[in-house]
């Protein structure tokens, strides 16, 4: 498991399972539907669930292969603060909008940020 992403990966895995179950269920319902419009609706929902499942799978693979930026929203102004790919705990970044400085910290294998004095 990639350092710093423990909870994120757990959430993504649960979401992936839900999308897989939905895709399977919608395909089953499309198969047994007699009404053409209902069948088409379930086929559309199955394709949407597959799209979500594929997107979640790509995010998980990117995290597991260290090809994912570590970024947070600034706690002062909401602007994005990007620590880049494979950052080290303790790295410091400054919000490009409000100039607040943050350090990257790890709490129980989850990355988070800490305010630093200006």
Answer for which of 16, 60, 63, 74 binds Zn ion (CB under 5 A) is 74
In the stretch 92-111, what mask flags binding to Zn ion with x, by CB under 5 A?
A: ---x-xx-x-----------
Provide the 3-class DSSP secondary structure of residue 13. helix
Number of residues that bind Zn ion (CB under 5 A): 8
Report the nearest approach of Zn ion to the CB of residue 66 (Å).
Answer: 26
- Residues of this chain that bind Zn ion (CB under 5 A): 74, 76-77, 79, 95, 97-98, 100
């Amino acid at each position: 498991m990639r350092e710093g992403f423990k909870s994120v990966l757990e959430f993504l895995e649960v979401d992936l399972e839900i999308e897989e179950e939905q895709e399977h269920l919608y395909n089953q319902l499309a198969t047994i539907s007699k009404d053409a419009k209902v069948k088409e609706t379930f086929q559309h929902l199955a394709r949407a669930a597959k799209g979500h499942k594929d997107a979640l799978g790509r995010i998980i693979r990117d995290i597991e292969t260290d090809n994912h930026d570590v970024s947070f929203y600034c706690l002062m102004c909401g602007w994005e603060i990007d620590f880049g790919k494979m950052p080290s705990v303790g790295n410091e970044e400054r919000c490009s909008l409000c100039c607040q400085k943050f350090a990257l910290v790890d709490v129980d294998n989850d990355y988070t940020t800490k305010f630093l004095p200006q």
